[in-house]
Amino acid sequence: MIRRALLAVGFASAGSGLLLLLTPVRAPFGVPILPTLGLLALAALAVGALVALDRSSGGVETAELPDPSAGVAVPGDAFDDRLGSVSARRDEADREAIRERLERVAVTVLADATGSDRPTVRQRLADGTWTDDPRASAFFTGRPPSLRARLRTVVTGESTFVRRARRVVAVLAARTEGER
């Protein structure tokens, strides 16, 4: 996430430095130094603002980790591994398998929680009315990502699909915790 931003700032700085080095200072057509430095500072501030926006929108999440000495697999590890392996590019077969699996789980959890029949729950998933969480509801509706979501993908390297899938899991987990 931060590596990409720092890499972009580094390339911009190196390019500007090379340009300043190769341009004679006394030439009438030379690159003005102060505006160039100002543009570099503005670019660095913009990257910093994007990183801060990404960090501030996530919130703080805490979770207890299992004891690693126990050597017991945690339920959901295989799903997390598969979700983590989906790239931001085109992995349609993996995405479709994940979407189908989450839909089956969501239908089961919501049908049990609300007492609705499965076709009604499937319709609510397709409409996006099953939750108030916009990222989670967008996962099943197929809405295209917003500009902010696309920018977050560029900055963090985590695709909108993966973020939405994680929100679906979090909402369903919260729903099942509320039943207990």
Q: Where are the domains positioned within the chain?
A: 2-56, 77-179
3-state helix, strand, coil split of the chain in percent (to 5) is: 70, 0, 30
Residue 100 reports pLDDT greater than 80: yes
Cβ(153)–Cβ(3) below 8 Å: no
Which pTM was predicted? 0.54
- Interatomic CA distance for residues 180 and 173, integer angstroms: 11
Q: Name which residue leads in pLDDT, 164 or 21.
A: 164
Nearest in space to 105 (alpha carbons), one of 168, 160, 180, 178: 168
Mean pLDDT of 6-13: 73
142 vs 48, 82, 104, CA distance in Å?
31, 20, 17
Q: Name which residue leads in pLDDT, 129 or 60.
A: 129
Question: pLDDT tens, 58-99?
Answer: 656 666 776 766 666 556 666 666 677 676 556 677 788 888
How many other CB atoms sit within 10 Å of the CB of residue 177?
8
Task: Determine the straight-line distance between the first and last CA of the chain, rounded to whole angstroms.
Answer: 37
